Amino acid sequence: MNLEEIVFSIIISAGNARARAYDALASAQEGDFEKAKVYIREAEKEVGDAHKVQTEIIQREAKGDKVELSLLFVHAQDHLMTAISEKGLIENMIKLYKRINILENR
């Protein structure tokens, strides 16, 4: 896989992770916490996929294969870190929705 393919793979997986995380949030807002859990698992898989590809680049450089830093690569890294951060925040928001749901149904 060349660097451009790697970069786009990270961007796609990170974008998919963010989309699934927001699907999870929407499900939680509707009170469907089981569906939210499924979406979070899917988001986690996408983050894992992106992270694996990122690790390939790191391993290449560790072996002495100089990796050219480009704006596109930085953009991909930004997408991945944003996806990880948003997924974490959304997981906490889902916990809050669960608490609200419990309190409303007492």
Query: With a threshold of 0.75, does the pTM exceed it?
Result: yes
| E strand spans, 2-106 | none
Confidence of residue 57 (pLDDT cuts 50, 70, 90): confident
Considering the four listed CATH numbers 3.20.20.60, 2.60.40.1510, 3.30.450.40, 1.20.58.80, the one that applies to the domain covering 3-104 is 1.20.58.80
- pLDDT tens digits, 71-101: 888 999 999 999 999 999 999 999 999 999 9
* CA neighbor of 88 nearest in space, from 17, 11, 8: 17
Whole-angstrom distance, CA of residue 87 vs CA of residue 44: 8
Residue 79 annotated to the active site: no
DSSP state of 68: P
- Residue 20 predicted with pLDDT over 90: yes
Task: Find the mean pLDDT for residues 21-30.
Answer: 98
pLDDT of 49 reads 95
Q: Which of 75, 78, 89, 92 is catalytic?
A: 75
- Residue 8 predicted with pLDDT over 80: yes
* CA neighbor of 2 nearest in space, from 49, 53, 41: 53
